[in-house]
Structure 1
Amino acid sequence: MSDEAQIEQPAFRIGWILTTVALTTMLAPLNSTMIGVALPLVTAEFAVGLDESGWLVIAYLIVMASLQPVAGKLGDRLGHRRMILGGLLYFAFASIGAALAPSLYWLLAFRIQQAIAGAIALPNGTAIMRQVVPAEERGKRFGLVGAAVTLAAAAGPPLGGIMIEWVGWRAVFFVNLFLILPTLVLAWRFLPVLEKRASDHAFDWLGALMLLLVLAGGAGMLTGQMAAGTALQAGGFCIIIVLAVLFLRREWHHPDPVFQPRFFRRRTFAAVNVAISLSNLAMYTTFLVIPLLLADAPGWSSTEAGLILSVMWAPTVVCAPLGGRLADRFGRRWPTVGGLSIFLLGLWVVSGIGAEIALPVLVGGLSLAGVGLGLSSAGMQTAAVESVPSREAGVAAGIFSTSRYIGSITGSSVLPLLYGAGIGIDGFDRVLFMVLVAAFVAVLASLLIEDRPRTD
């Protein structure tokens, strides 16, 4: 494995860099889940429908999915430290604007700014870790950051509920400042100034615009929100496909593209992106369908549904650092394969809960799935950034994160079609069949990951 740009840092400083990256990375999932509990109050205050206020969630996911490869590429050229500091400041001002928004449309505008800021910071934190953390410790370190991300996602709804109860829904935006301000201080103090990637070519702005149009347009079509009819929807997909082909052809021949299609000729890079996209599709769809099933069943409250889902998040937080250690010791492939196999087994157990919803089966299956997610996550993320030269780690991290979001968007888009096709447990069985297929293919893809990815 080539590690040509390893930047030596003292151990204590690496610890502070890890803390800073973890805090920075927590912003995106925290704000992705915290908004959910505020939606009913936002809908009521601005006297709009849920179909309108729901764009606060949809737009955030689409922008986060679309912008990260571009932000990572900019970080490779301009410096990752600069991008993180700018992203954090941007997120702070966007959060203040959202908290003071006088209407839904102002709130949506600032919500999109939050997503842009988060997309700027996230891949650049991953790229810094790629360059400063020794190869033999990367799995463990990425596992710790992964645990922090999962913890933030899980903490979002209860934290948002507390803030709303005490202060009101605007507090879910103000509370970001308590995380951003200390993170800014740590980033200024500890994030290193790394060598930028020199280039004789101007930045690929046209490629960046085409990438945004392809990803944002595709994600928008998948959500179904842009479809006014079947013919229009089909036409929209055809336009997106043509634009994607033109974009890939242009980037293939560009001397310094914003999106490097040749990365996918690397077996490990292609495998981890397929695996993370499909495993996230399975995870996110399961996360959404369980409350739907319980809501249709007598005797289940939304609070109980939330507690049931926590049995999947808790093992993920605990097992992510362990998965990283295993990836350091045994290589990136087998901990990932093993983790995704346990994830698949857990989902198979969940699929057998039956019409009576057997609680031990549901809890046991979700717990197994959570263990599998935790064990596999660090190996996948580490392999993704190790399979390309470190000078291009930013754009690689952005593509990997975009693949994750594409899985979430696809799962949430297909869910209503499959669940609505049945009644109660019948609809649930249809969804779980798709989930099991996605998880199985993710396992197959992970078998192609190299134990120690090469960058040559």
Structure 2
Amino acid sequence: MSQRQRFFMMIAICLGAFLSHFTAGIVNVSLPQFTYIFQTELAIAQWITTGYLLVIASLLPFMGKLGDRYGHRVLHNYGFLLFTVSSVLVAFSTTITMLLALRIVQAIGAAMFQATNIALIAILLPKEMRGRAMGIMSTAVALGGMTGPIAGGMIASWLSWEWLFLIHVPVAILATGLAFRYIPSHEQTKKVSSLDLVGAGLFMLLVSLIIIAISNGNGWGWASQGMLILFGGVLVLVWAFVWWERRQSVPFLPVAVFRLSAVSSGLFISFTSFVLANLVLVVLPFYLLNQAHESPLTAGYMMTAYPLLLALTGPFSGWASDRYRARPLIFAGLGAMGVGVTVLAIWLEALSTVEIIAVLALIGAGMGLIASPNNSYIMRHVPLEHAGAIGGMIALTRNAGMVVGAALGLGMMNGESSQAVQPTIDAYRAVFEAGGLICLIGLFVWWYAGRLERQKKRGAEVEKA
């Protein structure tokens, strides 16, 4: 592959990573507006965002598996096409039902290229370039998540609602053209003999129920009848999925790969880091507005310190992981995030505006040190025939971690959402103390996984001797 082709391939992949997170957040500000436009309830309008994220999260491993079977390029590029066409069609919706249906189609397209982009980088780029490439992609993800709500607010103020779904279409068309032109086809290393559709369906239902339960726990009440039914359904699906998978010669999830400590610990760190980051990102704005009495504009500017440092640190950490070891970078990133939440837990009231920005920057830099080295580290240990499935699982841990972090933070801060009393400073401290505990668990798991790897290497050396 020439340098020019590699350059434009990365632009296409990064534009996809940007767009999928940009479109996830662009609608949030305008949800109340949709209740008036389509004469519906807010509980239904919220599914414009919730349904989009739920469909993506539940389909990621399945789409990764399809990429392993039929080709990652095929899934990735046709996902772009489906995403682009549905983005145009959703803007012409005449009813809320039509809008939600087309939004689901858009989410299916986004899941197709989200699940396969990491696999494409791992397969098509030389080993010494993968970390930097994944760092650049992490920057695109951060920028998409940061600019989506900002663009949504501007469109809500100045333009009609249709532009929420049309504003990104020119970029999507460009990305689609670049993907078909510059992402090369590649031979599959192994053709899977069969696709476990029953296992895939059970896993998608399981992920959907877990995310619905976590997302609604604070609103419904964790001990409410609806939540108990959902948790009962989760237990039944877990049992059914395990029972079915044990009887399959080619199970939906590559169990043998998950037995590798590098893969299982890497996925755990991916999940943990996004729980920690989203816990801070969801809760801290409430403190800035209600306790520090910052204006919404000032609070918004302060919060951008996190994605900016993530965007700056990501490519550097990816480059460093290509040349040096990834494990120390990930350990340092977890440590930086842990220091940040510990500072918030102990000195929150005493921190000035500049100091809060510095803490957010530290947490963002820590996340930047984790994301791309961890993704590269996981994929380095994955057989190529499972690259799509594990790439989809990485994306799933990212989405699931964000959902769990938000639910945990809001739940600890407010209890049930029906409470009108503003959270006390002790409630905010409790959230950040929980974040510190989560970080300690992550550090221990990462240390222990490294210990297991070192023991395995010593054992292999002894056998050779």
Whether the TM-score (by the shorter chain) exceeds 0.5 is yes
Aligned pair count reads 446
Cα offset for 1:277?
A: 0.7
Secondary structure (helix, strand or coil) at the match of 2:348 reads coil
CA, structure 1 residues 395+298, in 2 after alignment: closer, same or farther (shift >3 Å)? closer
Secondary structure (helix, strand or coil) at the match of 1:108 reads helix
Structure 1 runs (4+) greater than 4 angstroms displaced: 225-229
Distance 2:38 2:318 in 1: 45
CA, structure 1 residues 231+42, in 2 after alignment: closer, same or farther (shift >3 Å)? closer
CA, structure 1 residues 262+198, in 2 after alignment: closer, same or farther (shift >3 Å)? closer
Q: Does 1:171 align with 2:163?
A: yes
User: Paired residue for 2:269?
Assistant: 275
Distance 1:251 1:403 in 2: 21
User: Paired residue for 1:90?
Assistant: 82
Match among 199, 205, 210 for residue 207 of structure 1: 199
Deviation readout 1:115-166 (Å, 9 max, x if unpaired) = 2111111121211111111112211111111111111111112222333334
CA, structure 1 residues 235+432, in 2 after alignment: closer, same or farther (shift >3 Å)? same
Secondary structure (helix, strand or coil) at the match of 2:313 reads helix
User: Paired residue for 1:64?
Assistant: 56
CA, structure 1 residues 387+298, in 2 after alignment: closer, same or farther (shift >3 Å)? closer
User: Paired residue for 1:302?
Assistant: 296
Distance 2:423 2:67 in 1: 49
Query: Which stretch of structure 1 is more off in the superposition, 350-359 or 405-414?
Result: 350-359
TM-score, normalised to structure 2, is 0.90
Amino acid at match of 1:361: E
Cα offset for 1:200?
A: 6.1
Distance 1:167 1:194 in 2: 43
Query: Which stretch of structure 1 is more off in the superposition, 206-215 or 294-303?
Result: 294-303
Q: Does 1:74 align with 2:66?
A: yes
Match among 406, 409, 427 for residue 403 of structure 2: 409
Distance 2:220 2:193 in 1: 39
Match among 346, 349, 359 for residue 352 of structure 1: 346
Query: Which runs of structure 2 are paired with 1:10-409 in the superposition (5 Å)?
Result: 10-199=2-191, 201-224=193-216, 230-297=224-291, 299-355=293-349, 358-409=352-403
Cα offset for 1:171?
A: 0.5
Conserved? CA contact 1:276–1:442, under 8 Å: no
CA, structure 1 residues 244+97, in 2 after alignment: closer, same or farther (shift >3 Å)? same
Cα offset for 1:227?
A: 5.4
User: Paired residue for 1:6?
Assistant: none
Conserved? CA contact 1:275–1:441, under 8 Å: no
Secondary structure (helix, strand or coil) at the match of 1:147 reads helix
TM-score, normalised to structure 1, is 0.92
Query: Which stretch of structure 1 is more off in the superposition, 201-210 or 265-274?
Result: 201-210
Cα offset for 1:198?
A: 4.3
Distance 1:68 1:294 in 2: 35
Query: Which stretch of structure 1 is more off in the superposition, 319-328 or 295-304?
Result: 295-304
Conserved? CA contact 1:349–1:362, under 8 Å: no
Conserved? CA contact 1:139–1:378, under 8 Å: yes
Conserved? CA contact 1:251–1:260, under 8 Å: no
Distance 1:362 1:51 in 2: 34
User: Paired residue for 1:429?
Assistant: 429
Cα offset for 1:42?
A: 1.9
Conserved? CA contact 1:77–1:197, under 8 Å: no
Query: Which stretch of structure 1 is more off in the superposition, 398-407 or 292-301?
Result: 292-301
Amino acid at match of 2:441: V
Conserved? CA contact 2:57–2:207, under 8 Å: yes
Distance 1:425 1:50 in 2: 30
Distance 2:192 2:12 in 1: 32
Amino acid at match of 2:305: V
Conserved? CA contact 1:350–1:366, under 8 Å: no
Secondary structure (helix, strand or coil) at the match of 1:343 reads helix
Q: Percent of aligned pairs with the same residue?
A: 24
CA, structure 1 residues 145+50, in 2 after alignment: closer, same or farther (shift >3 Å)? same
Conserved? CA contact 1:353–1:361, under 8 Å: no
Where structure 1 has 5 or more consecutive residues not aligned to the other structure, the ranges are: 1-8
Query: Which stretch of structure 1 is more off in the superposition, 398-407 or 357-366?
Result: 357-366
Conserved? CA contact 2:138–2:371, under 8 Å: yes
Cα offset for 1:49?
A: 3.7
Cα offset for 1:210?
A: 0.7
Distance 2:407 2:330 in 1: 27
